[in-house]
Amino acid sequence: MSKRKNETVPYTLVIHGGAGTISKARQNEALEKEYKKALREALQKGGEVLKKGGSALSAVRVAVRTMEDCPLFNAGRGAVFNFQGGHDLDASIMDGKTLKAGAVANIRNVKNPVELAYIIMKKSQYVLLSGADALDYALENGLKIEDSQYFRTEMRYQQWLKARGSDHMFLDHDTPVDDKKFGTVGAVARDKRGNLAAATSTGGLVNKRYGRIGDSPIIGAGTYANNHTCAVSCTGKGEFFIRLVVAHEISSIMEHGGKSLAEACEIVFKQRLQTLGGKGGVIALDKNGEVVTLFNTKGMYRGIKKEGERDKIFIFDQ
pLDDT in the model for residue 7:
87
Class (C level, CATH) for 12-314? alpha beta
The residue ranges of every structural domain in the chain are 12-314
Give the chain's residues under pLDDT 50: 1, 169-170, 173-182
Strands 223-225 and 101-107: unpaired
What is the residue-wise DSSP string for 160-222? HHHHTTSS--B-TTSS-BTTB----EEEEEE-TT--EEEEEEE--SBT--TT---STTSBTTT
Q: What is the per-residue pLDDT across 170-227, written as a single tens digit (0 to 9) for each? A: 455 444 443 334 479 999 999 999 999 999 999 887 767 788 899 999 999 999 999 9
pLDDT in the model for residue 148:
84
Across the chain, what does the average pLDDT equal? 88
Catalytically active residues, by annotation = 184
Q: What is the per-residue pLDDT across 261-292, written as a single tens digit (0 to 9) for each? A: 999 999 999 899 999 999 999 999 999 999 99
